[in-house]
Structure 1
Amino acid sequence: MATESATSLRRSSRLQAKVPAFYIEEPEGIDSSSAGPSTTRREPKRPAKRPRKSAPAVLEGGAQATSQKPLAPRGRRRTLSKLVDMPLDILFEIFGHLQPHDLLHLARTTKALRNILMRRSAITIWRNAFGNVQDLPQCPPDLTEPAYANLLFEPYCHFCLKARVMTVLWICRTRACKACLKEHFTPLSAFLASARIPYNPQKSMKTSSMVPMEHINNKLLIPNKVAEEALALIEGCKGDWTALEQLQKERAAAVKVLEVNAFRMMDWQIKQNHQRSMNLIDLRNRRRKQIIERLCDLGYGEDLKWMTYDRVEEFIEHPLVKQPKELTDRIWNNIKAPMIAFAQTARAERLMRERCLHYINRLSVVRDTVVPWLAQRPLWEPLPSIADFSYYTPGFRHILGRPADVFYKTLDLPPAQVNAILQASARTWRADMARKLYDMVIAAISPSASTSDTSAALSPGDPTVDQLVSRVCSATTWFRCTDASCGALLDYPRVLAHGCAHTAPPVNLHPTSDADDLRNAYALVLESQPWNMAGDRVVFDTRAAEAAAQVVRACGRDPAKTDGAQMKQNKTRLACSLCSKDGRTCVMAWKRAVAHLCEHARQGKEAKLTLLSKRDTRVVLAQEPARLLVPFGTAYKMYGCLRCRVGPPMTLAEVLDHCADEHYVDMGQLEEDFDIHPDAEAELGVPPYDMYYESSLFLTPIRR
């Protein structure tokens, strides 16, 4: 008995039907020639071999080729072909350790596996697989286990099989791409407007509660199939309101069950997405730490330690660092060169900062001293910037010139004394800037006069400070920004606050001189530089000066005795002869007229200006506010923040967003939270562009 049990092996009942035909049992006592009593294996007839093709003959000599091309080895095939022949209990045990999407993929490989996994007796396999997924809700009663797995894990459209479809309509139990949403779903409004739904003014029926719907793109959508089924059931009641009410209750209860299960699945998906995001973050963090460790082993630890905030952000967002993959030796060898290049850049930046550390210290002292005083002054007042204080005023300039081994702390002086010093320094700065601007004017008007001659010490024949200021404030004194992307026309005092003249150059990671160190310190500490530090950001514009003289004469004034403030007070409006045509008159303010004439001059055209009469000017001024409301709010950069007092001008929308985001002021107020920027592109209430009116509004004849 023991021998019999030891020798009897387990056999699959499904294998008995698959015994090969060449195993034949023959009864004893019968001649093998007639039927054969032997139970030995009968050798099957070997199939005939395919005849081998002979090698082609060599043309020269007719000899056969002595060598043939070796055949490539054939790979193994059907390595798992016997899997379906295993006993079902073993298969069920194996499949029970898989994930639900693995079972789906297996069921789609062969018909045999599909027959095993899709039969009702395989439900335990699916339940065990669902149990392997953490916190997964139970399969809803309206879905089979394979359909549930397909809904959860297969990112394909259920209608057109488009890949990477992440829009899951949980209540409708389907996935749909954008195209299929339009084709296979109906808006709730269209469903309720159907003529197949009976109407009774005395009784109301909540038809919308009878169908499952999803909120997609601000619309409530219903599957076409479900909508048609609901309408058919409603028609089947044939207007019987008792039956309709009963149908409505049954359908609403069924939809409620769908919604409850849908909310559970949605909650599970949200948790899974969050867990997936956390896993990816953890992978990225580990990869970043591993890269840092590798770079530290190469001697870049000190450089990585002292990286700036921007450099750290650049490192974190680096495409080779941000990948959610473990760092292996092979991967490190592939990314080693660019990572070393990044570390070398960090080293160069650290050495650059150490080289200009004394300038960084002194500019920080100047900043901490000047900022409280600037906060007390109007934003529009022509004042030196922090960089201008440090470079152009004698006291702070002396601090910058001290030896590199001298470091300063915050100035410990009474506030009144500091304010007096800064006030005097601002007056000195305005005089010095007037001299620089005057030198530009003289150099442009008289090219033979060198800059050194015009900037020499004042002699009895030289202009006084008041004369210098009067000259640069003249209505005919105009400068132009040399930046190709800007090219703005600048008058006084806007020219002193123009952003392009204060823009610091990029940091030089390989400085070779003290001047390089100073420029790097300005870029690092203040993110700006002293006004026109290189001397090439602003130039005097002779063409604009000639155009301004023409504008002043058109207004009936003497160009030599008129300044910009006088022109602004008059609120005059002028019309262009070239642009006023076809029953429309081109009207502009005086500053816009200067730029307008320059544009015509560049095109080789000569335009004439006409001063509008007082009556016509009043007509224009009455219509301008309504036409300026929208452009001033969104188009022109005119405002600056009174709390920051640094940075370029902003539009009204931008400055309001800035106050809300940076200072938590919901609705900033003019002159309280923000004010007109000294580098404003336009004056408040004055159009900075041409405005066209119907010619019938005016009585002033246009000069041609």
Structure 2
Amino acid sequence: MPKPLQSKRLKAREGSSKDIEHEPEPKPELSSSTSITKPQRNVRRGLRGALQSLPEMPLDILIEVLCRSRPLDLLHIARTTKAFRNLLMARSSAYIWKESRMNVEGLPEPFPGMSEPVFASLCFEPICTLCFKSGIQNVIWEFRARLCNSCKSTRTKNPLALLVDVDTVDFVLPHMSAHLSTKRIYGETLVLDSEVTEIMGAWKRQVDVEARTKFLEEGKARVKELEAHAARCRLWFSHTKTERAEEIEAMKRRRYEEVSRRLKEMGYEEDVLWVDKQRFLTDSVRLKMLPAVRQMQPLTERGWQKIQQEVVCHVMTKIRPRRLKSEYMESLRQRFVLYRQAMATFARPYRNVFPSTRELARLPDFKAILDPSVNKQEPTIDIYQALEPKIPDIVANWKAEVKEKLDEYLKNAMDDLPPDISLDNLVFAQMFRCHNCHSVFQNLDYLIAIHECRRRFPTAGGYYSQDSMYDSTLDILGMCVWKPSRFSTSSPSALRVLEACGKDRLATVQELDQLNPRLTCKKIDCQSLGTETIYNWRDAVAHVMRRAGYGGPSCELEVISSEKVLKLGPLDQAVERENENTVTLQRVWYCSHCEEHNKPKDDIVSHLKDIHGIDMPSDADLFPDPDRTVLNSIVYVVQDSYKERVELLTSPVLKALETGRAVFNEDL
């Protein structure tokens, strides 16, 4: 019967303890019927038996080897055999640990009362001191321990509730401030249970005041010394972690550089250079964040063969499509600069009642010029000027399309309309409210199609097909494709006004202008303090639309008497005088020579002088925003009781009193 196998560890133990050389045991012969089912481990051949001859070394050489080792290596060696453990854990071997500690740059001495092996374990082994859980990276130096989150919560206490006789616990116990991970109050002072038990026992043994005073002084000195030593250890530990992180990052960087070099040799140089320049890519796209690349091991030829297919697949599926799209967008962005200038020139005769740059870019004639995949040559201004004769037809077709979509939208908002009816002059089809800015305006000269929100909210209601890269890149233009669904119609609000005026829903603008009704809202929420607000029919529709848009209560409109309307004559004249200057004093103006807009008139005048060299601009050089030309015809009648208390009136009413659009009731 063959002799049973004996492990190398047992051989080493016997050799160390008995100092007797043994011949290697002959391997047992296995019968043909014997089968081995246990899988073999992958053992690195270069390290197999590396420490096998260590126990047979002469003692002086062995001591020299141990002194040149690092503390963590000594811990590992001490756990291999009993002989090594007895040697390294003996008090007489303390000098070996001290010499080993000197091999670690900047490592402080152990805490007072702590042995070298325990201090080495605290510094280098990521194990919880209390429950021996692994993976604990942070050291609580004040406690001279590593604690997992569970032990932080269960094995620490707030000492104030226990040491009620001690005035200053901080002077007696090593302590720490609680962090969020401990599930305690942030900043709460915590101490170890074992420290509490020890200190409480020592405190109770102090029988008189003098002894307790001495105890507190000694505790204060001990804690102060401990905190100073903990600060030195913390500083060393922080530097060590930083250096290790930098070392690991350097190894990963060298591996990435080698991967990049091999990819460049394979023809992927453009992709590698592009991805290195990008700052805002997600980690799932970055080549250096690929798990096969972001490793510390140097890249060997064999290792490259293992990861080559994965890396190349990542480049082709994640990096190259983004690079091509980025280059395409950059080329298109450069072409858009000249395109914007040409479109601004084309739009001047139309005073910006003109299709947006995005809408024009979708037309075949312009797409053939702008799309880099269709036109490989960089466009010039002459190419755009060749399209100028087509602009009138393009604008006419655009207006016809806008009107067709708007008519369909309005008809869907009203039920049972005659099929062939024209909506141009119907009251309910005149006003609209923007869903984004809640502005209410009339659709005069296609204002609804050039509303400012197509610039401020480029995706608002402008959803368009993104089937191609060209379509998805049009976001650069910052404009939206016009859709009537961006607006609410005035149909429900206009019907309330028509009902108050005694007209049917198909009443025309001419009918109401001829009737010229004046209305007021009796809803308490709609009335200013001590003031009756009087609207014409357009302002009344706008008022109802605004209340509905902001979720306010429904309005209670009432037509005022004809006698009272006659008394409003002076107020109407003041409104006409004020509206004569509205365009001149318009807050928002446009430059006729470029896309500069949304500025006060003085700023546009300065812009014309500084940019275009026009010192004395004329009406042809600048014009008011056509989106802001809806005039205000609201007047106010104020109760006489507020004549001596005008400061209680709202700002619009006070301004109306100054301009003559408001009057006290006794002066009416």
Per the normalisation by structure 2, the TM-score is 0.54
2:255 equivalent to 1:287: yes
- Matched residues in 2 for 1:124 and 1:469: separation? 102
2:96 equivalent to 1:128: no
- Matched residues in 1 for 2:135 and 2:435: separation? 61
Please, which moves more after superposition, 394-403 or 131-140?
Answer: 394-403
Picking from 253, 269, 279, the partner of 1:301 is 269
Residue pairs, 1:188-207, within 5 angstroms: 188-191=159-162, 194-197=163-166, 205-207=167-169
Residue pairs, 1:232-271, within 5 angstroms: 232-240=201-209, 242-271=210-239
- Matched residues in 2 for 1:206 and 1:390: separation? 78
SS of the counterpart of 1:277? Answer: helix
**Aligned counterpart, 2:474:** 522
2:408 equivalent to 1:435: no
Residue pairs, 1:610-649, within 5 angstroms: 611=554
Picking from 459, 462, 465, the partner of 1:499 is 459
Q: 1:273 to 1:441 in 2, by over 3 A?
A: same
SS of the counterpart of 1:133? Answer: coil
- Matched residues in 1 for 2:200 and 2:400: separation? 87
Structure 1 counterpart of 2:33, one-letter code: Q
Q: 1:549 to 1:92 in 2, by over 3 A?
A: same
Superposed displacement of residue 189, structure 1: 3.1
Please, which moves more after superposition, 88-97 or 362-371?
Answer: 362-371
- Matched residues in 1 for 2:95 and 2:129: separation? 26
> Conserved in 1, the CA contact under 8 Å of 2:343 and 2:357?
no
SS of the counterpart of 2:106? Answer: coil
Superposed displacement of residue 127, structure 1: 1.5
Picking from 361, 364, 374, the partner of 2:337 is 364
- Matched residues in 1 for 2:94 and 2:320: separation? 63
- Matched residues in 2 for 1:274 and 1:562: separation? 80
Residue pairs, 1:306-321, within 5 angstroms: 306-307=274-275, 309=278, 310=280, 314-315=285-286, 316-321=288-293
- Matched residues in 2 for 1:155 and 1:555: separation? 82
Q: 1:160 to 1:327 in 2, by over 3 A?
A: same
2:107 equivalent to 1:142: no
- Matched residues in 2 for 1:363 and 1:531: separation? 17
- Matched residues in 1 for 2:91 and 2:519: separation? 94
Deviations 1:56-108 (A, max 9, x none): xxxxxxxxxxx635679999999967754644323212222222112112223
Deviations 1:108-154 (A, max 9, x none): 33322211110011112212221221221222333110011011111
Please, which moves more after superposition, 264-273 or 94-103?
Answer: 94-103
SS of the counterpart of 2:248? Answer: helix
SS of the counterpart of 1:175? Answer: coil
Deviations 1:237-264 (A, max 9, x none): 2241x22222211111111111111001
Measured on the aligned residues, the alpha-carbon RMSD in Å equals 5.8
Gapped regions of structure 2 (runs ≥ 5):
1-13, 180-186, 345-351, 382-391, 437-447, 510-517, 527-543, 558-627, 629-668
- Matched residues in 2 for 1:159 and 1:112: separation? 27
Superposed displacement of residue 322, structure 1: 3.2
**Aligned counterpart, 1:184:** 155
Gapped regions of structure 1 (runs ≥ 5):
1-13, 23-45, 56-66, 198-204, 372-381, 410-423, 455-460, 480-490, 509-515, 575-588, 597-608, 615-677, 679-704
Structure 1 counterpart of 2:264, one-letter code: C
- Matched residues in 1 for 2:36 and 2:270: separation? 59
Q: 1:251 to 1:529 in 2, by over 3 A?
A: same
Superposed displacement of residue 293, structure 1: 0.9
SS of the counterpart of 2:298? Answer: coil
- Matched residues in 1 for 2:260 and 2:461: separation? 40
Residue pairs, 1:432-471, within 5 angstroms: 434-435=402-403, 437-441=405-409, 444=412, 471=429
Superposed displacement of residue 518, structure 1: 3.4
Superposed displacement of residue 347, structure 1: 4.2
**Aligned counterpart, 1:174:** 145
**Aligned counterpart, 1:322:** 294
> Conserved in 2, the CA contact under 8 Å of 1:214 and 1:220?
yes
Superposed displacement of residue 231, structure 1: 2.4
Per the normalisation by structure 1, the TM-score is 0.52
> Conserved in 1, the CA contact under 8 Å of 2:175 and 2:191?
yes
SS of the counterpart of 2:114? Answer: coil
- Matched residues in 1 for 2:431 and 2:263: separation? 59
Q: 1:498 to 1:282 in 2, by over 3 A?
A: same
Number of equivalences: 462
Q: 1:572 to 1:112 in 2, by over 3 A?
A: farther
Q: 1:567 to 1:330 in 2, by over 3 A?
A: farther
SS of the counterpart of 1:168? Answer: coil
- Matched residues in 2 for 1:562 and 1:530: separation? 32
SS of the counterpart of 2:128? Answer: coil
- Matched residues in 1 for 2:296 and 2:21: separation? 56
> Conserved in 1, the CA contact under 8 Å of 2:156 and 2:191?
yes
SS of the counterpart of 2:191? Answer: strand
SS of the counterpart of 1:275? Answer: helix
- Matched residues in 2 for 1:20 and 1:319: separation? 50
Structure 1 counterpart of 2:190, one-letter code: L
SS of the counterpart of 1:221? Answer: strand
> Conserved in 2, the CA contact under 8 Å of 1:440 and 1:539?
no
Picking from 228, 246, 266, the partner of 2:197 is 228
> Conserved in 2, the CA contact under 8 Å of 1:295 and 1:343?
no
- Matched residues in 2 for 1:311 and 1:21: separation? 64
Structure 1 counterpart of 2:123, one-letter code: L
2:309 equivalent to 1:337: yes
SS of the counterpart of 1:222? Answer: strand
Superposed displacement of residue 326, structure 1: 2.5
SS of the counterpart of 2:113? Answer: coil
Superposed displacement of residue 368, structure 1: 8.5
> Conserved in 1, the CA contact under 8 Å of 2:72 and 2:121?
yes
Deviations 1:553-597 (A, max 9, x none): 89968776899xx999998879xxxxxxxxxxxxxx97897899x
2:182 equivalent to 1:211: no
- Matched residues in 1 for 2:174 and 2:296: separation? 39
Q: 1:383 to 1:389 in 2, by over 3 A?
A: farther
- Matched residues in 2 for 1:408 and 1:433: separation? 30
SS of the counterpart of 1:499? Answer: coil
Deviations 1:311-345 (A, max 9, x none): 59732433433334422223322322232233335
- Matched residues in 2 for 1:517 and 1:16: separation? 75
> Conserved in 1, the CA contact under 8 Å of 2:71 and 2:120?
yes
Structure 1 counterpart of 2:429, one-letter code: R
- Report percent identity of matched pairs: 23
Superposed displacement of residue 473, structure 1: 2.9
SS of the counterpart of 1:323? Answer: coil
Deviations 1:364-407 (A, max 9, x none): 34569999xxxxxxxxxx99998548649999999859965244
Q: 1:87 to 1:521 in 2, by over 3 A?
A: same
- Matched residues in 1 for 2:251 and 2:80: separation? 33
Please, which moves more after superposition, 93-102 or 396-405?
Answer: 396-405
2:59 equivalent to 1:88: yes
Q: 1:80 to 1:344 in 2, by over 3 A?
A: closer
- Matched residues in 2 for 1:216 and 1:394: separation? 67
